[in-house]
Amino acid sequence: MKIARLGCGAVLLGLLGLRLLYAHPAPARPWFRELPRPLIMAHQGGEKQWPSNTMLAFREAYKLGADALDMDVHLSADGELVLMHDTTVDRTTDGHGMVRAMTWKQLSRLDAGYRFSLDGRSYPYRGKGLRVPRLEEVFQEFPGARVGIEIKQAPLATVERLAELIHRYHAENRVLLAGFDAAMLRQQRRLLPEVASSATPEEVRIFWIASQLHLEGFTAADYSVLQIPLEHNGRHLVSPRLVEAAHSRGISVLPWTLDSDREVEACRAAGCDGFNTNVPGLMLKYRQDWWR
């Protein structure tokens, strides 16, 4: 019996050693080079300051000094990559219906600032000419900006259209791919191996558990960043241990979505590389405190 236990232990150690041999750290990506710390990413362009996923929001956030512009992509009925967070246009525009059921011409007629309000009573962007933009417009207007792109509900073929657009505008070093759909992200990594990507929820879960057991060295990183909430279901996810483990594997940590000084302080104390925020104007001020 003792010999059998020793044999099982040897096999287990051998398997662990083999896993460690094949585990590899995250590849270095230009997206993360020469960026200030903390990196500030404007979520939907700054959803709590300007109408979500509009060119106005991206312009204002970029003008203020946001380091990256975060956006959500859908495929229109006629094959255009358009920017919208929800699967429908109802919450943010004066229209109704599924994004994927509407053509670009139909989407372009909508008022993308129609429902934006800071106080629930006034609507300062109604009738101001804001419309649903295409992803291509962002590449055209911000040729030097880093962007984070999440493909929302769409067929896998959407990735081919995205890859073509990224290559056409030579944006490989400026794009960070993200998403909750594991199949979609795997397809993006396959077609865009040179582009940085975030971990899927399952990859985050595996890495978090491994980091708590100090076994992060056994994880193979096909992603460059953990985009992760500070906590989930009452459990604190972001900690100095997690960040230390991620950095040892060449992975950056960018929590989402931070809108208060308390959240930023928790992020700073953990040693994070930056964060995603709905209020980039406010967060840029907090960066001065972070440095101090």
Q: What would the 3-class secondary structure string for 20-56 be?
A: HHHCCCCCCCHHHCCCCCCEEEEHHHCCCCCCCCCHH
| CA neighbours closer than 13 Å in the CB half-sphere of residue 150 | 22
List, for residues 77-104, the tens digit of each pLDDT value: 999 999 999 999 999 999 999 999 999 9
pLDDT of residue 18: 43
pLDDT, residue 163, reads 98
pLDDT score for 29: 85
Residues of the chain with pLDDT under 70: 1-22
Which amino acid is residue 76, in one-letter code? S
- Non-local (6+) Cβ contacts of 201 within 8 A are 180, 182
What backbone torsions phi and psi does residue 205 show, to the nearest 5 degrees?
Answer: -60, -45
Angle at 255 between CA 252 and CA 261, to 5 degrees: 125
Answer whether 175's CB lies under 8 Å from 196's CB. yes
> Residue 50 corresponds to which tokens in the numbers above?
């300007």
Give the model's pLDDT for residue 3. Answer: 53
| Whole-number Å distance between alpha carbons of 73 and 44 | 11
Q: How far is the C-alpha of 134 from the C-alpha of 79, rounded, in Å?
A: 11
Cα–Cα distance measured from residue 73 to residue 78, given in angstroms and rounded to the nearest whole number = 14
Q: What pLDDT does 13 receive?
A: 44
Helix (H, G, I), strand (E, B) or coil at 67: coil
Strand partners, 42: 69, 277
Measured CA to CA, the distance from residue 42 to residue 143 in angstroms comes to 17
- Which residues partner with 149 through β-bridges? 71, 177
Residue 213 has φ and ψ, to the nearest 5°, of -95, 5
Q: Where are the domains of the chain?
A: 30-74+143-291
Distance CA 200, CA 183 (A): 9
Query: Per this entry, what is the length of the chain?
Result: 292
Note the pLDDT of residue 1: 52
CATH architecture of 30-74+143-291: Alpha-Beta Barrel (3.20)
125 token code pair: 């962007």
CA distance 89 to 100: 10
In angstroms, the CA 197 to CA 83 distance is: 19
- Per-residue CA distances from 189 to 179, 181, 197 (Å): 12, 12, 7
Rounded Cα distance, 191 and 171, in Å = 14
